[in-house]
Structure 1
Amino acid sequence: MLSIILFGNTVTNVAASAVATFLAVQYYGDLGVALVTIALTFVLLILAETAPKTYAALYPQRVAFLAASPLLILLKILNPIVWAINNIANGLLLIFGVRVKRKMPEPLSIEELRSVVHESIDHSTLSYQHLLLRVLDLQKVTVAEAMIPKNEIYGIDLELEWSIIVERLVNSPHDYLPVYRDNIDHAKGILMLRRVLAQLRNPQFTKIDLIREASEIYYIPESALLHQQLLNFQREQKTIGLVVNEYGDIQGILTLQDVLEEIVGEFAMSATEIAKWISPQKDGSALVNASITVRDLNRLAHWHLPDDGPRTLSGLIVEHLEMIPKVGVSINIGGYAIDVLSVSHNKIFQVRVFPA
């Protein structure tokens, strides 16, 4: 198809030049050659190049449908000529040591796909553009960045009294819960809350029965990229797993919902839940729980703090200061002025952030 387009374009330009030069010489003599060169250059540039190609770029589908049938007819009629031209060109290249091979189309890179998304979606579908870009961003995010950290895992300690275990089960905000002895490092399995709550109606249901209800733990390496882990969840038919480091130590927990929230944002975070992490003040600053992850903080507050380092805001501050700060210490990170308000047991609890 490309060959017939090039052939037709070349024949048309050469024919137009020949006819225009012949007529110009007939009427204006030698001066006509110069005049027709200038005039034809502008005509071809505007009417044969710039205008039609701009129109085709703006309305590619419309132009393709209009041009497809005539081009197919020309391709059938001129196929012997096109075949001969291609073979002559390939033969000339072969003389210079260039062997033309039929190549399979190369897949687009992530950056090329990102450019396509940016250029092909208009303002009316901006939300879809953001959604597609977040899907592509999964290749840049690791499991460690999206997981719920170890110290925030809500689970069931089998060493607790049965009444306390039942209370935690009934009040659980999650659909799946890890069960362990003493701490999460001694995890025994994963409970499906819906199934367990149905069993709790039975007065003979005991702690031993609870352990039997726990399914085998699915472990996830913290270095895995989210796009691959999403495929792993699908292949293994899992929706939750404990995240481990290279030594096999548990670092956190990851659910399918956590991965999907990286694409579409938080599913259901109320104003009360947001206030737990961020509390806007009248002076334009915000009181922030320093244990919030930098990625979540940027997403909720629409800030642009650097998120390619430590996972939490507390960790980000400690990394920049290279020490555990005291109350009253101020620091500027990425144009954001941050005052440390509360520190306890070598951990930053609350800070005041002045947006850039």
Structure 2
Amino acid sequence: MEDTPLSALFIALIVCLASSAFFSAAETAMMAINRYRLAGKVRKGFRPAVRTQKLLNETETLLGIILLGNTIINTASATLATLITARLFAGNEFALGIAVLLVAFAILVLSEATPKVIAATHPEPVAYFASGPLALLLRLFYPAVWLVNVFVDALLRLMHLRKHKNNDTALSPDELRLLVLESGRFMEKKHHTILLNLFELAKITVDDVMTPRHQMEMVDLDMPADLLRQQLFTSHHSRLPIYAGNPDNVLGILPARKLLSLTEDNTDADAVRSLMRQPYFIPSGTPLFTQLQNFQENHRRMGLVVDEYGELLGLVTLEDILEQMIGEFTTHSPATTSPFARQSDGSLLLDGASSLRDLNRKLKLGLPTNGPKTLNGLILEYFEDIPETGTCMVIAGQRLEVVQTQDRSIRVVRLYPQ
């Protein structure tokens, strides 16, 4: 070393610092690269991506070659700095200490912090660039890396720590939902909304979207023939639940299109019985995603929701579930009114039977949905009694006023603006 020119030592020191910067950047880029974007490039056959994927599949050996190279290079940098200082300031211990500090600062700034920040900001191009040299170095120094990993494995066993295979890239439903939330700016708003709604299908039940029993249009076969014909031929629904005497005793579902085969003269209870289909019952609390699959498997579009005692609670259709995913359809019954009406003072008059989930979605409210499903039920639970007209309250930060009550329920509620 004494015969080595001083210029050669300086060049070697610069090369060591640059090499250390390469290993530092490669480590950060490999760990920070987006695995899903990388997988997409691999499917397209992008060679640097394929090479990077192979290295990441063997994380232990990848980290082994990076750390091995970085350790050797940094040691060489410190040694070269000592030799250069000894040549320039022989016997000056203070100068030697300053040189060590300068080399440490250079390694920290030039070989660690700066390349790692660059790699963290642009992980893909850095990882693709570094994958070639790393793959070559891994082939050349594989025995040394293998030996290092043997000692690492032995130390982990001694500490009773188990290594996990590199299969932690799978996302849980909550993590996947968070990924969709954060990727909203990369897709159309409508598509983004639909994807988010899909995650909610497993949490929402048929009780949240069903038409309550008291709002269902049902046909009683025991009514007089003229009234029966009038109800059948004036209904705006495509499917009608049929019962005889007791609404809990649903006999079947009548598709409205089958009425085309009848005339007013031959439309009676027996004719309706011959056309109706067996009812399809849905247990209360069934998640929407499960029910969507059940509709598909049973080739049904409508079902009757019943509780554990078999009592009828309401009706849910395929359209009700689809609306939770893609928004409301426009094919509503003419008799159906808007669940809210805006007043001149800015307040809204809400139907007490309105679904809390629908109100939250349409009006951007935060009403609790983990208990009652309707606005009427929420207020009754809040007071534990039927409030009088004019009673005001604040629920979830929303100021509400009972406008009208009828038949032991709240029919109209006023929502005041914030």
What's the TM-score once normalised by structure 2's chain length? 0.74
Q: Deviations over 1:141-190 (max 9, x none)?
A: 12211211111112222123344334433333333221111343010112
For residues 206 and 77 of structure 1, the distance between their equivalents in structure 2, rounded to whole angstroms, comes to 90
Matched, 1:38 2:105: yes
The partner residue of 1:322 within 384, 390, 405 is: 384
Which of 37, 45, 52 aligns to 2:119? It is 52
- Say whether the 8 Å CA contact 1:180–1:189 is kept in structure 2: yes
Q: Structure 1: any 5+ residue segments left out of the alignment?
A: none
* Partner residue in 2 for 1:7: 64
Match of residue 199, structure 2, among 127, 136, 153: 136
**Distance in 2 between the 1:63 and 1:274 partners?**
60
- SS of residue matched to 2:202: helix
Matched, 1:215 2:282: no
Partner Cα distance (2:157, 2:117) in 1: 34
Would you say 1:279 and 2:341 are equivalent positions? yes
Q: Using a 3 Å threshold, how does the CA distance of structure 1 residues 349 and 3 change in structure 2: closer, same or farther?
A: same
> For the Cα contact (< 8 Å) 1:135–1:263, is it kept in 2?
yes
Q: Secondary structure at the match of 2:248?
A: strand
2:184 maps to 1:121: yes
How many percent identity over aligned positions?
Answer: 32
Q: Give the C-alpha shift of residue 217 in structure 1.
A: 1.8
Provide the C-alpha distance between the structure 2 equivalents of 1:330 and 1:43, rounded to a whole number of angstroms. Answer: 67
Contact kept in structure 2, 1:326 and 1:343, CA below 8 Å: yes
Partner in structure 2 of residue 243 of structure 1: 305
Distance 1:63 1:183, change over 3 A: farther
Alignment RMSD (CA, Å): 3.0
Q: Which moved more, 1:71-80 or 1:306-315?
A: 71-80
Shift of 1:265: 2.1
Which digits, 9 at most, give the CA deviation of each residue in 1:24-74, with x for residues without a partner? 223333422111111211223334322212222xxx5x6666666666666
Aligned length in residues? 351
Give 1:135 shift.
1.2
Which has the larger displacement, 324-333 or 118-127?
A: 118-127
SS in 2 for 1:190: strand
* 2:193 partner letter: H
Quote the offset at 1:264 in angstroms. Answer: 1.9
Secondary structure at the counterpart of residue 220 of structure 1: strand
* Structure 2 unaligned spans of 5+: 1-54, 86-95
Contact 2:348 2:415 survives alignment (8 Å) = yes
Q: 1:33 to 1:170 in 2, by over 3 A?
A: farther
Q: Which has the higher strand share?
A: 1
Among 241, 245, 248, the residue aligned to 1:178 = 241
1:1-356 equivalence runs, <5 A: 1=55, 2-28=59-85, 29-56=96-123, 60=124, 82-100=145-163, 102=165, 105=168, 107-122=170-185, 124-194=187-257, 196-200=258-262, 204=266, 206-268=268-330, 276-356=338-418
Structure 1 pair 40–100 and aligned structure 2 pair: CA distance change class (3 A) = closer
- Aligned-residue offset at 1:84: 4.6
Amino acid at match of 1:208: D
Are the counterparts in 2 of residues 290 and 314 from structure 1 also a CA contact under 8 Å?
yes
SS class of match (1:122): helix
> 1:103 and 1:344, CA in 2 relative to 1: closer, same or farther beyond 3 A?
same
Structure 1 CA distance for aligned equivalents of residues 230 and 391 of structure 2: 41
